[in-house]
Structure 1
Amino acid sequence: MPTALVTGSAGFIGYHVCARLLNEGWRVIGLDARTDYYDVTLKDARHARLAPLGDFVPELGRVEDPGRMAALFERERPDVVIHLAAQAGVRYSIENPRSYLESNIIGTFEILEAARAHPPRHLLLASTSSAYGANTSMPYNETDRADYQMSFYAATKKSTESMAHSYAHLYGLPTTMFRFFTVYGPWGRPDMALFKFTKAILQGTPIEVYNYGDMSRDFTYIDDLVEGIRLLMDAVPERPEDGIVPEGDSLSPVAPYRVVNVGNSEPVQLTAFIEAIEQATGLSAQRNLMPMQPGDVPATWADAALLRSLTGYTPATPVHEGVARFVEWYRSYYPRNSCDPQMK
């Protein structure tokens, strides 16, 4: 039975990735620090659902703790590593940048050092669409320059891409970096717009709509994202012997390293996203229109051609379907918020 190490296993994406692998018969080591960035009970509930699915080994700890990842790699010798643990959130990185330095940069360093000592078959690490920063040419393509990050969160994630490339080159570690695009769905994060909007609409309180609603995002449904990750696990990059990279591929000419967008390839206006929540809840939103927040970008849009070329797959869940599934989950998980909006 192959073993996968998934960091951030009690997180939104990590939970769903673990569930998919367990259902396929993998042995899964799930590492999570259970930080209080958002509701720890939600993280515990995710983890609790994993154990009955198969051979799940939960580990409590931070990836940035010196020596923790080295010891874990030495003990478990994972075949595949999916590094999803990170301090997330663009706006929070303005308030508490040190947590991003420690979790994202130092944590990734510890992962890379452990992988150097005990190489997995494939090392996969999460980056972000925010790495494209000030780019205005869309859709975002993996071969575009990405030099002007707009938030410290984005800067730390772009830094991890460079770090991972250096290790892939120096030590021959087959490495894939994911650039995720606004992931949403059941068991999602409370700090994300869909979660906050749904809660507010059901409670009859206003929602904060940034840039006065003139924003668009390439919303990616969680099941689509997990499918992309699962298929990319088997698309192990190889260093080109002649240094020549096929057109449209982000493969490094000097390392077994690749960056891949995982997005829906269809930007949706924020106003349309809110309308989908209104339709799913049967309630109208009270909109509090606000200016653009520091570190934010007005639009994201993924070019998913490379993902399709490598795996034959393109995410395609329409936003109205994905939002409806989230609202259904939310109402079942938080029933008190799902009745009369006056009942809080």
Structure 2
Amino acid sequence: MTSKNLYQNKVFLITGAAGFIGYFLSKKLLDRGCKVIGIDNMNDYYDVELKHARLQQLEPHSNFMFVKGDISDKPLVNELFEEYKPNFVVNLAAQAGVRYSIENPDVYIQSNIIGFYNILEACRHNPVDHLVYASSSSVYGANKKVPFEESDFVDNPVSLYASTKKSNELMAHTYSHLYKIPSTGLRFFTVYGPMGRPDMAYFGFTDKYFANEQIKIFNNGDFENDLYRDFTYVDDIVEGIERLIGHPPVDEVPHNVFNIGNNKPEKLMTFIGTLEKALTNALGREVMFEKVFEPIKPGDVPATYASTDKLQNAVGFKPETSIEVGLQWFADWYVEYYNKK
């Protein structure tokens, strides 16, 4: 059975629908004829215009309904569940960013803890077929064993952001145990692509280049022991989510956790070199960033590397978009969107 048939006449509630992953997931579901209720608080953590641009792509769909609001607003969340009776809930609303969590801890507790609690309570009182929620690769902390597997010990987070995501997994497990809510947590690994988040390094580096500014690289200039990241293209993330939505856990405690990563970590300097080449291709002139090397920042981890065996065994899929392909799509979009030709 195709996912189009599987989800026909089903209602999806997507939180964070104007966000990067939320937008791409909403668009794919709408293209399949699904009904999508989107909620987003449209905060100014990064350029709100980009969020509006994403929404403009979704609003022509007759099956799309958007609500501007915050999931930390419990009466609003309850009202949405009671009015639209979603079959599937995908919670992507969260305050993101490791470094920002050191400067502004309050917003992480508000959105990632209280907001997620409100979603769980709403699912408890308005039963759903499946709750899928965003966790993060940051829950692995500074684990030395790679690749990271879902069964690994994850009780040593190194940022408040990571702590909130680990808390989400514990909260969801408890609600699944007590109220039999089928729920699945997704540990995303460094998601990138067109219309992405400007606070992410690849986007920020590109902004700096066009502003004639230096880029800061937090690896001490140590190329031998460079930071490694499992960069995952956004379409692969969405494909993984879409497949897993139709596979709710059926265990006695119906809760599960999956990595969604590229299973192919790249050195940060290799990633930067690939981005320079992609921009060179997009612009038709050579692009070289002016680089400054600084110490690693508090809360950053030296490496992320996903094992995708569990995902592949469950739904027959693993992310495979190379950084050469993914970054070229990003560079082409950036040059056109910001009119940089």
- TM class by shorter chain equals over 0.9
SS at match of 1:140: coil
Q: Which residue of 1 aligns with 2:3?
A: none
Counterpart mapping for 1:75-86 below 5 A: 75-86=83-94
Aligned pair count reads: 323
Shift of 1:54: 4.1
Counterpart mapping for 1:1-344 below 5 A: 1-212=9-220, 214-240=226-252, 255-282=253-280, 283-335=287-339, 338-339=340-341
SS at match of 1:71: helix
Q: Which residue of 2 aligns with 1:243?
A: none
Matched residue type, 1:84 = L
- Counterparts of 1:83 and 1:28, CA distance in 2: 13
Which string of whole-angstrom CA distances, capped at 9 and with x for unpartnered residues, describes residues 295-325 of structure 1? 0001000000011001100100000110010
- Counterparts of 1:321 and 1:201, CA distance in 2: 21
Which string of whole-angstrom CA distances, capped at 9 and with x for unpartnered residues, describes residues 140-187 of structure 1? 000011000000000011001100100000000000000000000000
Unaligned runs of 5+ in 1: 241-254, 340-344
The answer to whether the Cα contact below 8 Å between 1:202 and 1:281 also exists between their aligned partners in 2 is no
- Counterparts of 1:212 and 1:323, CA distance in 2: 24
> Which of structure 1's runs of 4+ aligned residues deviate more than 2 A?
201-204
Using the aligned pairs only, state the percent identity.
Answer: 48
The answer to whether the Cα contact below 8 Å between 1:25 and 1:54 also exists between their aligned partners in 2 is no
SS at match of 1:81: strand
- Counterparts of 2:62 and 2:294, CA distance in 1: 46
- Counterparts of 1:211 and 1:294, CA distance in 2: 12
SS at match of 1:211: coil
- Counterparts of 2:74 and 2:183, CA distance in 1: 22
* More deviation, 2-11/205-214: 205-214
- Counterparts of 1:264 and 1:56, CA distance in 2: 30
- Counterparts of 1:58 and 1:222, CA distance in 2: 22
Shift of 1:53: 3.5
Shift of 1:52: 1.9
- Counterparts of 1:84 and 1:54, CA distance in 2: 22
- Counterparts of 1:291 and 1:95, CA distance in 2: 18
* More deviation, 52-61/184-193: 52-61
SS at match of 1:46: helix
The answer to whether the Cα contact below 8 Å between 2:142 and 2:302 also exists between their aligned partners in 1 is no
Unaligned runs of 5+ in 2: 1-8, 281-286
- Counterparts of 1:71 and 1:314, CA distance in 2: 37
SS at match of 1:156: helix
SS at match of 2:327: helix
Matched residue type, 2:202 = L
- Counterparts of 2:31 and 2:202, CA distance in 1: 27
Shift of 1:25: 0.6
Matched residue type, 1:190 = P
The answer to whether the Cα contact below 8 Å between 2:183 and 2:254 also exists between their aligned partners in 1 is yes
Shift of 1:281: 1.4
SS at match of 2:220: helix
